[in-house]
Amino acid sequence: RMAAPTMENYQGDDDHLLVRRQRLPGFKAKRSSGASESGNAIAGEVLSSLKKTLFVIGSCIVIFIAVRNSLTLHLQNFWGASGNFWQHQWDKLLYTFGDDPYNLLVYGTLIVSYVVYWGVGIFYIFMDMTMRPEAFRKYKIQPGTNEPVSNWKLLKVIGVVHFNQTVVAWFCVWASYHAMQWRGYDQSKSLPTFHWVLFELAVCILVEEIGFYYSHRLFHHRHLYKHFHKLHHEWQAPISVTALYAHPLEHMIANLMPIFLGPFLLGSHMSTSWLWFQLAQLSTLNAHSGYHLPFFPSNEAHDYHHLKFNQCYGVLGVLDLLHGTDDRFRNSKIFSRHIMMLSLTPARALFPDQDQDAKPKAVVKKSSKSSKVPHKTNEKEVERKPEEKIE
């Protein structure tokens, strides 16, 4: 009878040993089993990514179909009823400042953007400096921060933002003018239709999400962060006007370029471009405000990004979901507040950090004397154990 083959029976060079080893019972089975498990794992990851993508796209399509018959009808009626009014205002603007494309695109964009940014930002600055009106304090996302804001830090922000809005922005808008002239765009005196404006805004939002997400993640790379993006993250609890508080190179690539790409690809009318630029600017002012105000889009995600640095890079959150860069945010208590508040009740009141109904436990200090005699507890020796904060 021949003994069962073992590894000790095989001698010779490595190739011969490998060939003889492959003939052992179970070798192929184990190998095929491991390959099968690896293939199943890869297939599972691909399937999970596909599910996320289909869920996001499907949800957008369903929501669009559900609201378009009602929302677009009302907006179209408003646009049609007031169409003559807006066209008349645009004609007056062209008559007053001239129909020069360079003046409209360069100086018009700079002036309109500056007025909107500081017109809204001054309201938040007043709240952060004076802590009034008192009724707005309850909407603070990080209570106790910037209450009041440091005057020196605020002056530094104002100086950097003004440099970005004048020198850096002027160069970028000047370059954008020549790019639009090369590409070609709608220079007619008639305003575009409502449906076309709505379509262009939707495209601009998606393009900005892609451009901002990847450029933002790029500046979080360790070789770029300390030289460029670290300036913006000096504020772990941001205020509204820190939206453009950034290194000039970052401001060009991550702030201005993603916003400009949409109108450039579409060849948008100047009025549509202005509308889009100001909507994007209002969005980033709200995202950095530090207040989760009622009836405003939730800014909990970007505030969490400033707090934790490596979460929530995007604007909409779609690419964060697909790339898994918001997993800690979604597992935190703060994610439950990431909704648009349709009442005057603060998000922190609806979703508190800790269970306010839990009663504090009493902790009795043990006597330092080792005695068998029962120790009578003094009232002063009873301490209240603070409630633990739930993340």
311-352 pLDDT, tens digit each: 999 999 999 999 999 999 999 999 999 999 999 999 999 999
If one compares 367 and 120, the residue with the highest pLDDT of the two is: 120
Q: In Å, what is the CA distance from 61 to each residue of 310, 319, 320, 338?
A: 30, 17, 19, 22
Bond preceding residue 352 cis, omega within 30 of 0? no
Residue 180 has pLDDT above 80, yes or no: yes
Please give the residue that has the higher pLDDT: either 195 or 34: 195
pLDDT at 370: 42
For residue 131, tell me if it sits in a domain. Answer: yes
Question: Is residue 330 situated within a structural domain?
Answer: yes
Residue 338 lies in a domain: yes
pTM, rounded to two decimals: 0.72
């000047």: which residue's tokens? 174
Give how many domains the chain has, as a whole number: 1
Per-residue confidence band for 389, with pLDDT thresholds at 50, 70 and 90: very low
- Across the chain, mean pLDDT equals 81
41: exposed, middle or buried (Cβ count in 10 Å: 0-12, 13-18, 19+): exposed
8 Å CB contact between 117 and 285: yes
> Per the domain annotation, does 168 fall within a domain?
yes
Give the rounded distance of the alpha carbon of 90 from its chain centre.
34
The answer to whether residue 279 scores a pLDDT higher than 60 is yes
In which element (H, E) is residue 43 found?
Answer: helix 27-67
> Does some domain include residue 72?
no
In a domain, 58, yes or no: no
Domain membership of residue 268 as a residue range: 102-350
Q: What is the mean pLDDT of residues 339-368?
A: 70
Is residue 172 domain-resident? yes
Considering the domain boundaries, does residue 194 fall inside one?
A: yes
**Is 140 in a helix, a strand, or coil?**
strand
